[in-house]
């Protein structure tokens, strides 16, 4: 693609966000976190409810391939992969095992025959191993208490199903097989006659990467302060992490507001310091990063070291530090936003963040800075 495309787009009257979306179209080596799109943020590491002000964030969808749309609007327009999405006029697409299947008022009814792992299931095919999927089963238990959902193509992820009312829970999962079953158990250790109703099951592929907290205890907190949506480290190793889409000649932008220090960069795992960071510690350059250069609000930091980058970021004000021309090697294979070590590293707030090929960033630097100006008022 023409990596200078953004220079032409900059004159069209499109917003910076729309221009970046056009630049990223079809470019896989990107990650884009936008905390202002609440439909891209989920409270659990496996999905759950969307995050709101003061809620934790367990997983964030990558906005890079969403064409400038909100995550909900983009996902709604994606092809349906469920072989039986509902509402139901018959039981087509479903298979019974030790259960009776029927239809009532548009819902599939699964009735246990003996109360021991009695289920109905669909078989989903055409999946891509490693791809992210947005799975939304809408279920309710009507008789009994032993209903269980198992997503067999995503590590056999399991959830109990709530009684009485339909639970339209979202799961954000990564496929570990090209096909698999989504099973709804009317009973696991219950009684014959236990019943669950299925109103619908939607399965959509979500392009790009996903950023996931390393554990429930390490989920950052979403906040709205002064009209700016941002994530706050919770003081206990909170972070969002994605595997690198690419590690050669990359650029990183991150909106950052520090009250002590916060990581911006990459790491080999959640227990070691970030490879490239603004914590003001360690020597620079680290082994495996090539010879990166640094800037704050578009102004080069010289000499270009982590320490001088840290010194250039004032406490209590939004800044946009950037790291240019990163080449990451060895065991360092995670893109990290947040805090990755002891609690004294993790008091800072962070906002929108973008990981992209150096060639695109270098050709469109002002465009990216304009985007951050719109989001957080800096530079």
All structural domains of the chain with their residue ranges: 5-66+209-376, 95-206
Model confidence pLDDT, tens digit, residues 171-189: 999 999 999 999 999 988 8
* Nearest to 360, CA basis, from 284, 257, 246, 263: 246
The pLDDT score that the predictor gives to residue 321 is: 83
Rg (CA), the chain: 23
The pLDDT score that the predictor gives to residue 236 is: 65
Handedness of CA 309, 310, 315, 317 (dihedral sign): positive
Model confidence pLDDT, tens digit, residues 203-231: 999 998 889 988 888 898 999 998 999 98
List Cβ neighbours of 136 (8 Å cut-off, separation of 6 or more). Answer: 168, 169, 170, 171, 200, 201, 202, 203
The pLDDT score that the predictor gives to residue 85 is: 97
List Cβ neighbours of 67 (8 Å cut-off, separation of 6 or more). Answer: 21, 25, 74
Q: Walk along the chain (379 residues) in steps of 10 and give the mean pLDDT of each run.
A: 40 82 91 96 93 95 94 96 96 97 97 94 96 93 88 90 75 95 92 94 93 88 92 75 74 76 44 39 46 85 73 74 74 62 52 92 95 87
Q: What φ, ψ does residue 260 adopt, rounded to 5°?
A: -145, -75
Determine the Cα–Cα distance for residues 312 and 297; give it in Å rounded to an integer.
Answer: 10
CA–CA distance from 343 to each of 54, 255, 340 (Å)?
20, 20, 9
- How many other CB atoms are found less than 10 A from the CB of residue 299? 10
Asked: is 95-206 a CATH 2.40.50.250 domain? The reply is no
The pLDDT score that the predictor gives to residue 154 is: 93
The pLDDT score that the predictor gives to residue 302 is: 84
* Structure token digits, residue 19: 């221009």
Does the predicted TM-score (pTM) go above 0.85? yes
The pLDDT score that the predictor gives to residue 194 is: 93
The pLDDT score that the predictor gives to residue 268 is: 40
List Cβ neighbours of 303 (8 Å cut-off, separation of 6 or more). Answer: none
């Amino acid at each position: 693609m023409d990596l200078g495309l953004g220079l032409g787009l900059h004159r069209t009257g499109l917003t910076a966000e729309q221009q970046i979306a056009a630049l990223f179209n079809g470019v896989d080596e990107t990650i884009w976190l936008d905390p202002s799109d609440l439909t891209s943020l989920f409270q659990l590491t496996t999905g759950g409810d969307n995050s709101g002000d003061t809620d934790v964030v367990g997983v964030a969808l990558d906005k890079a391939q969403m064409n400038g749309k909100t995550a909900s609007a983009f996902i709604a327009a994606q092809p349906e992969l469920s072989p039986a999405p509902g509402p139901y006029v018959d039981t087509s697409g479903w298979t019974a095992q030790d259960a009776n299947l029927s239809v009532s008022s548009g819902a599939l009814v699964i009735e246990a025959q003996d109360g021991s792992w009695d289920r109905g299931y669909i078989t989903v095919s055409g999946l891509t191993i490693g791809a992210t999927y947005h799975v939304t089963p809408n279920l309710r238990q009507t008789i009994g208490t032993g209903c269980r959902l198992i997503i067999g193509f995503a590590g056999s992820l399991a959830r109990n199903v709530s009684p009485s009312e339909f639970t339209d829970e979202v799961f954000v999962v990564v496929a570990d097989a090209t096909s698999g079953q989504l099973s709804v158990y009317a009973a696991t250790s219950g009684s014959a006659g236990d019943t669950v109703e299925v109103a619908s099951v939607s399965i959509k592929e979500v392009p790009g990467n996903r950023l996931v907290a390393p554990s429930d205890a390490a989920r950052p907190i979403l906040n709205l302060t002064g009209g700016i949506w941002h994530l706050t480290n919770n003081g206990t190793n909170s972070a969002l992490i994605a595997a690198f889409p690419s590690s050669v000649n990359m650029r990183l932008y991150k909106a950052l507001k520090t009250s002590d220090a916060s990581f911006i960069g990459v790491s080999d795992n959640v227990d070691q310091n970030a490879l490239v960071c603004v914590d003001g510690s360690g020597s620079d350059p680290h082994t495996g990063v090539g010879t990166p250069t640094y800037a704050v609000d578009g102004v080069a930091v010289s000499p270009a070291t982590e320490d001088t980058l840290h010194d250039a970021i004032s406490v209590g004000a939004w800044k946009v530090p950037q790291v240019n021309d990163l080449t990451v090697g060895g065991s360092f294979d995670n893109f990290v936003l947040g805090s990755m070590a002891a609690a004294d590293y993790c008091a800072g707030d962070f906002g929108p963040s973008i990981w992209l090929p150096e060639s695109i960033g270098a050709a469109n630097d002002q465009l990216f800075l304009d985007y951050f100006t719109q989001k957080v008022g800096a530079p």
